[in-house]
Amino acid sequence: MLDRVSALGNVVTKRTFQVFNPSTGELLAELPDMGIEETQAAIERAYVAQAGWAALTARERSDALWRWHQLIVTHTDDLAAVLTAEMGKPFAEAKSEVSHAAAYLKWYAEEANRIYGETISAPSTDRRMLVIKQPIGVVGAITPWNFPASMVARKISPALAAGCTIVLKPAEQTPLVAGAMFALAHQAGLPEGVVNLIYASEGDAVGRELCSNPKVRKVSFTGSTEVGRQLMRQCSDQIKKVSLELGGNAPFIVFDDADVDAAVDGAIQAKFRNAGQTCVSANRIYVQAGVHDEFADKLTERVRTLVVGDGFDPDVSIGPLIDTRALTKIQGHITDALEKGGVIRCGGRQVGGGGTFFQPTVLTGITGNMLLAQEETFGPLAPIIRFEDPEQVVRQANDTIYGLAAYFYASSLKRVWRVAEALEYGMVGINTGRMSSEAAPFGGMKQSGIGREGSRHGLEDYLEMKYLCMGGM
């Protein structure tokens, strides 16, 4: 039984929680269940270490990130195996995610050397006016279960590049790959206290401490909009900076001038990757009447070929849902749709044999009053909505409190520009179903979040801008 974590030094807790494989129900690990006391100790360690980490040259921080990147690349298969065991996604997808995590570390190892200030033309000859950028300080980060490796890297790498230190709580369902990545960070030579890991079965106490402790200067969270609202309220007393990447309700629009085969390929990527358990997953598939039947037939045919099962089986393309609550939600959405006139084209049932497996499903006859058109399903369910009016479908796509990601397929350049500009989303995939990249800003509008991760813009969220006015020159 584990009763301590090296990242927290001598902090010991006798409380524990268990981590299970969602495919088999197998017990994978028993971990220390940390709370406020352990979080306070981790924050103190990060606070003490931050000044020394920030004092290093940009090149020294870059070199440390580069060494961590190389270790993750070397151990890709091992990390992917841990990820598949605790989260369930197919091993090939897990390897892709680990590679994506490594790409963030590489990107910000390079960006660490590109933190620039500026000079401003002064209004008088005896002054000099400058702007410099400095690390914000200790960062509290909370990551989700659906991408437990890449989300860790996406939050930590820009913070470290900027000169910040980190206290991170991974999701209780998938903490093991984060622990393995932190072990590699220590092997890479990151100084003691720069990265600190909190294992906890419940996030409330840890989240409250990260939000209320004045030594934490910023909180970064990826998860549900409901929890994001709560964390934002808790940070408000200290006017603490937050980055929030929250829920989505992504539209996927296929216009009648689209390449239907390409649109089907894109829908498979945008809907069924990670069993539909992504925040940018296509949740509402709008198809114009002229190509509706062709698209629905071809998508159904493709979805029937998807194999559900244990992620370690090389033939499997759809792994389990994360837990029984996810099963209940997808079943509820299907039941509601059928009661209101929806039609199952394929799938629609839980897969037996143990585990939280669900058949990839296509529904037609979908209308806006159904739950699956209003809520994020977070599962392998593709609801197809027929539309006639191109302008009306954009209004329908925007008719949500969310604004994270959207997708559409069209050939007309005029339509491409007009629709791309009209969609109220932070990210828009045009004739593609997959757009995530460490080089691009990831984040949403409206109640899908605040701030951006990835790209050069992601570094800015961990920096304070300071204006210097020098007189008597």
Instruction: Please write down the HEC assignment for all residues of the chain.
Output: CCCECHHHCCCECCCEEEEECCCCCCEEEEEECCCHHHHHHHHHHHHHHHHHHHHCCHHHHHHHHHHHHHHHHHCHHHHHHHHHHHHCCCHHHHHHHHHHHHHHHHHHHHHHHHCCCEEECCCCCCCEEEEEEEECCEEEEECCCCCCCHHHHHHHHHHHHHCCEEEEECCCCCCHHHHHHHHHHHHCCCCCCCEEECCCCCCHHHHHHHHHCCCEEEEEEECCHHHHHHHHHHHHCCCCEEEEECCCCEEEEECCCCCHHHHHHHHHHHHHHHHHCCCCCEEEEEEEHHHHHHHHHHHHHHHCCCCECCCCCCCCCECCCCCHHHHHHHHHHHHHHHHCCCEEEECCCEECCCCCEECCEEEECCCCCCHHHHCCCCCCEEEEEEECCHHHHHHHHHCCCEECEEEEECCCHHHHHHHHHHCCCCEEEECCCCCCCCCCCECCEECCEECCECHHHHHHCCEEEEEEEECCC
pLDDT value at position 10?
Answer: 45
pTM above 0.85, yes or no: yes
Backbone angles phi, psi at 160, to 5 degrees: -65, -40
pLDDT value at position 248?
Answer: 95
Identify whether 279 is a catalytic site residue: yes
Choice among 93, 111, 245, 376 that is catalytic: 245
Low-confidence ranges of the chain (pLDDT < 50): 1-10
Query: Distance between CA 464 and CA 141 in Å, rounded?
Result: 18
pLDDT value at position 7?
Answer: 44
**Do the strands 402-403 and 445-446 form a parallel or antiparallel pair, or are they unpaired?**
antiparallel
Tokens 């494989």 locate to: 21
pLDDT value at position 2?
Answer: 33
Report residue 208 as tokens: 């409250």
Residues 204 and 78: beta-carbon distance below 8 Å = no
Residue 360: is it exposed, middle or buried by C-beta count within 10 angstroms (0-12/13-18/19+)? buried
The radius of gyration of the chain from alpha carbons, rounded to an integer in Å, stands at: 23
Choice among 111, 279, 376, 453 that is catalytic: 279
pLDDT value at position 355?
Answer: 77
pLDDT value at position 3?
Answer: 34
Query: Distance between CA 254 and CA 262 in Å, rounded?
Result: 10
Query: Distance between CA 365 and CA 173 in Å, rounded?
Result: 35
Query: Distance between CA 294 and CA 275 in Å, rounded?
Result: 24
pLDDT value at position 12?
Answer: 56
In sign, the C-alpha dihedral spanning 315, 318, 324, 328 is: negative
Identify whether 346 is a catalytic site residue: no
Chain Cα centroid distance, residue 172: 15
125 CB contacts (<8 Å, ≥6 apart)? 473
Residue 409: is it exposed, middle or buried by C-beta count within 10 angstroms (0-12/13-18/19+)? buried
